[in-house]
Amino acid sequence: MNFEVWPEAIELGHLFAARGYELALVGGPVRDLLLHRRSHDLDFCTSAHPDEFEPILRHWGRDGFWDMGRKFGTLGAMRRREDGTEVKVEITTYRSDTYDPESRKPEVSYGDSLEGDLSRRDFTVNAMALRVPQLEFVDPFGGASDLAKGVLRTPVDPYQSFDDDPLRMMRAVRFVAQLGFSIAPDTAAAISDMTDRIDIVSAERVRDELTKLLLSDRPRAGVEALVESGLADIVFPEIPALQLEIDEHHRHKDVFEHTMIVLDRAIALETGPEGPVPAPDLTLRLAALTHDIGKPKTRRFEPGGKVSFHHHDAVGAKMTRKRLKALRFDHHLVEDVSELVNLHLRFHGYVEEPWTDSAVRRYVKDAGPLYERLNRLTRADATTQNRRKAMVFSSAMDEMEQRVRDLKEKEDFDAIRPDIDGNEIMTILGIAPGPEVGRAYKHMLEYRLDNGPVDHDTAVAELKRWHASL
């Protein structure tokens, strides 16, 4: 088997061999070689212990060295090529790690062979190695064959593998999204049988796998695999709860299927690097995934066979905030996604009756920095099969966006403030700091949103009129 291997890998192989140590490229880089992909992040394993190979790595990694993973037997280094690209390597001593049934952290012990190290890896497609510098391909578990078939299978019995490290179940559905693979039947069965085991994994590690899944090329396939496996019932139960039964007259859509369509459509509306919502955008994708999670709690069967979901936007926003906090997502991300869920129905009123300039200003003001994402989520959510309705909705959104552009030419939407600030309010009305100033400021902000920018005298007159009417 011919490989075009990184020169840095060959060089490191010679350095280790000169001191009597084995070194092998493992995992993702080997998989990517077979897939004809290139990476600048290289993972190796070795017979040497960290204290033994640290001097080699420090010498090689003239542009960077790190040892945060020392307790797991891992050290890292970086070298910058002449063209400016960086090559990062991480080297780990042969090992086997297992989980105590009640522990969230793996217990690490060193192994004594490459084959033994490969047996503890998550899937056969990641259990291949390339010994360096001799370029000997090592594939004891048929990873190359599984790679060709696009199948995820564990090197050892899947029940043992997932018992050793339950996070591997999350990695399986993540690889469905990233690589477009399917999960082998015996492996899928083990995941379904062992979903409760994911409880011992920290929320942060689960969050990281979800993030990688959502930022992949095929997040829908990953989310569907997450639900089908039963893992979603544990880590994100609000998503499988969307699988509402369709009523016999088919008067409302299956909400889960609708959500998957919205996710696909939202991704298609992401932009290039220079656009307002560069792909891949985690905030937009999470909002698409969660925008309707309030529907199961708000579903009501109305007279005449109709189904309603009143206030599912507000309810869904609260549910989204609670779930994303539990998964330890960043505070700002949690708030942004929750606000998008809360606002995702706001535009529908425009379709029924075009807004005044005042209402347009309020929409932009309330959306704030989420304006571009909100419009994309709103467009993605319009999944009606009725072509006339779809065209009316799209046309209305186009019109509203143009009105925003026109208004922005006349006024600064990004910094809408009352025409009179708090200090002026106190001076004009002769009042001291306190709640009354806040009420006056709020009124003048409402006046500004309703009327656009006005001259100072007009603003003063309105403030005095309002104050006199109290």
pLDDT at 150: 95
Would you place residue 301 in the very low, low, confident or very high pLDDT band (cuts 50, 70, 90)?
confident
Cis peptide before 418 (omega within 30 of 0): no
Name the amino acid, one letter, at 354. P
| CB contact at 8 A, 95 and 110 | yes
Q: What is the mean pLDDT of residues 211-237?
A: 97
Of the listed ranges 118-132, 379-393, 428-442, the least confidently predicted one is: 428-442
Domain 1-149 and domain 151-235 have a common topology: no
- If one compares 405 and 286, the residue with the highest pLDDT of the two is 286
What residue spans define the domains of the chain? 1-149, 151-235, 240-415, 422-468
Of the listed ranges 239-248, 265-274, 356-365, the least confidently predicted one is: 239-248
For the cut 90, the answer to whether the pLDDT of residue 288 exceeds it is yes
pLDDT at 253: 56
Q: How far is CA 145 from the centre of its chain?
A: 31
- SS3 for 274? coil
| CB contact at 8 A, 235 and 206 | yes
pLDDT at 108: 64
Mean pLDDT of all residues belonging to the chain = 89
pLDDT at 30: 94
Of the listed ranges 296-300, 303-307, 374-378, 432-436, the least confidently predicted one is: 303-307
pLDDT at 29: 92
Q: Tell me the C-alpha distance between 12 and 42, whole Å.
A: 11
For the cut 70, the answer to whether the pLDDT of residue 199 exceeds it is yes
Cis peptide before 453 (omega within 30 of 0): no
Would you place residue 101 in the very low, low, confident or very high pLDDT band (cuts 50, 70, 90)?
low
- At the top level of CATH, the class of 1-149 is alpha beta
Would you place residue 112 in the very low, low, confident or very high pLDDT band (cuts 50, 70, 90)?
confident
Of the listed ranges 134-138, 198-202, 461-465, the least confidently predicted one is: 461-465
What does the block give as tokens for 27? Answer: 């995992």
Cut 0.85: pTM above it: no
CA distances from 400 to 152, 313, 361, 392, 407 (A): 47, 21, 11, 12, 10
Fold (CATH) for 151-235 = Hydrophobic Seed Protein (1.10.110)
pLDDT at 249: 43
3-state DSSP of 281-326: CHHHHHHHHHCCCCHHHHCEECHHHCEECCCHHHHHHHHHHHHHHH
pLDDT at 75: 96
Spell out the alpha helix ranges (H) of 236-281: 255-268
Q: How far is CA 180 from the centre of its chain?
A: 17
The model's pLDDT over 420-459, given as tens digits with 9 standing for 90+, comes to 787 888 888 888 888 888 888 787 777 777 777 778 888 8
- Beta strands 307-308 and 86-93 are unpaired
For the cut 60, the answer to whether the pLDDT of residue 268 exceeds it is yes
Q: Tell me the C-alpha distance between 321 and 195, whole Å.
A: 24
Fold (CATH) for 240-415 = Hypothetical protein af1432 (1.10.3210)
Q: Tell me the C-alpha distance between 61 and 197, whole Å.
A: 39
The model's pLDDT over 325-381, given as tens digits with 9 standing for 90+, comes to 999 999 999 999 999 999 999 998 777 777 888 888 888 888 989 999 999 999 999
Helix (H), strand (E) at residue 393: helix 387-410
The model's pLDDT over 173-189, given as tens digits with 9 standing for 90+, comes to 999 999 999 999 999 99
Q: Cα-flanking dihedrals φ and ψ of residue 108, to 5°? A: -105, 130
pLDDT at 97: 54
pLDDT at 245: 58
pLDDT at 439: 84
- For residue 252, the 8-state DSSP code is S
Q: Give which of 140, 163, 143, 162 is closest to 153, Cα–Cα.
A: 143
Q: Tell me the C-alpha distance between 293 and 317, whole Å.
A: 8
Range 210-231 burial, b when 16+ CB lie within 10 A, else e = bbbbbebebbbbbbbbbbbbbb
Spell out the alpha helix ranges (H) of 153-311: 158-164, 167-179, 185-193, 203-214, 219-229, 232-235, 255-268, 282-290, 295-298
Neighbouring C-alpha atoms within 13 Å toward the C-beta of 419: 19
Q: Tell me the C-alpha distance between 345 and 340, whole Å.
A: 9
Would you place residue 251 in the very low, low, confident or very high pLDDT band (cuts 50, 70, 90)?
very low
